[in-house]
Amino acid sequence: MVPRKLAHKSLGLRIMDTTINLLSSTVMAALVAALVSLRTNERKINIENVTQERAKWRGAIRALADGLVKATREGDNQAIEYFCTQLSLNVNPFDNEDKGLIQAVKQLTTTENKDYQLSEVIDRISLLLKHDWERAKRESRPWFFRGETPRRITYSEFLGNNTQAQTKTCPQRKWISLLGNFAGLTLSAGIIFFLAAGLTEPFKSLVSIFNDSNITKPFSAWVQFLLWSAICGSIWSGAYLWFKGSEKKFLETWLAK
């Protein structure tokens, strides 16, 4: 009969050997986890700074729109000019749609049909806010779920003068998106494969040891087993979500007309 101390020592050596194999198999997983952590921190900074500031900007644009409506109803041209100046400072001076918005606001002081002109201004501001909101929603998602950058709908398209341009996709951007999503599919599938191939035998040995009632397992061995199971399972789950997200975006882009 094997002495108790010798059996305990043998168990410790078996667990140590299995753990070494496990560690060597998870080197790639550790690198992936570090990259994921870096990306998560960058995304957190972006959400806390850029995204929140853009939300404040949308609120400021809505406040300016309310002021324009009130000033137009009251016929206060001086107030309209003030709000036009403030709006000019909050939009892109090089964008054609933003230029059109400013011109539409300026015409509120000279046109006789103020209701019609005010309707155009509100529509243009709505398109501006809609575009920024779609961009904010896209940027708040994980990068592998984002898809293509939302395109701003022009005022002429909004009026129905160019309905086909709204759904038209640039072929070059489509192929770039396809290649990016395919690369995500390949990398995530590779991570899943190496994790499955490298961790199957070590975990199989560990499960066999911990299911053997004839072997006494110290508490530290249980902690070590559960800890590594949770870590490796989390990494595998993250890679699987990455794979499914890339697959979804790849198929959506491929099947898009």
**How far is 252 from 247, CA to CA, in rounded Å?**
9
**How far is 167 from 165, CA to CA, in rounded Å?**
6
Q: pLDDT tens digits, residue range 53-102?
A: 888 999 999 999 999 999 999 999 999 999 999 999 999 999 999 999 99
Q: Do 175 and 150 touch, CB atoms closer than 8 A?
A: no
Confidence of residue 144 (pLDDT cuts 50, 70, 90): low
**Tokens in use for 109?**
């002081």
**Quick one: how far is CA 200 from the chain centroid?**
32
pLDDT on residue 4: 47
Angle at Cα 44 formed by Cα 43 and Cα 49, nearest 5°? Answer: 100
188-216: average pLDDT: 74
Higher per-residue pLDDT: 109 or 218: 109
Q: pLDDT tens digits, residue range 21-32?
A: 555 455 555 555
Q: Do 150 and 134 touch, CB atoms closer than 8 A?
A: yes
Other Cβ atoms closer than 10 A to 126: 12
**How far is 234 from 165, CA to CA, in rounded Å?**
43
> Residue written as tokens 């952590």?
37
Higher per-residue pLDDT: 18 or 179: 179
Higher per-residue pLDDT: 170 or 115: 115
**Tokens in use for 200?**
């199957």
pLDDT on residue 219: 73
pLDDT on residue 248: 76
Mean pLDDT of the chain: 77
Q: pLDDT tens digits, residue range 40-50?
A: 666 666 666 77
pLDDT on residue 230: 77
Biggest alpha carbon–alpha carbon distance for the chain: 106
- Indicate if the pLDDT at residue 124 is higher than 90: yes
pLDDT on residue 16: 55
pLDDT on residue 231: 79
pLDDT on residue 244: 79
**How far is 64 from 80, CA to CA, in rounded Å?**
10
**Tokens in use for 176?**
């770039």
Residue 95's contacts (CB-CB under 8 Å, 6 or more residues apart) are none
Domain boundaries along the sequence of the chain = 4-255
pLDDT on residue 185: 81
pLDDT on residue 2: 44
pLDDT on residue 1: 45
Q: What is the pTM of this model?
A: 0.53
pLDDT on residue 146: 64
> In the chain, what percentage of residues exceed pLDDT 90?
30
pLDDT on residue 62: 95
Q: Do 101 and 121 touch, CB atoms closer than 8 A?
A: yes
pLDDT on residue 189: 83
- Buried b / exposed e over 215-235, threshold 16 CB at 10 Å, is beeeeebeebbeebeeebeeb
236-240: average pLDDT: 79
Confidence of residue 214 (pLDDT cuts 50, 70, 90): confident
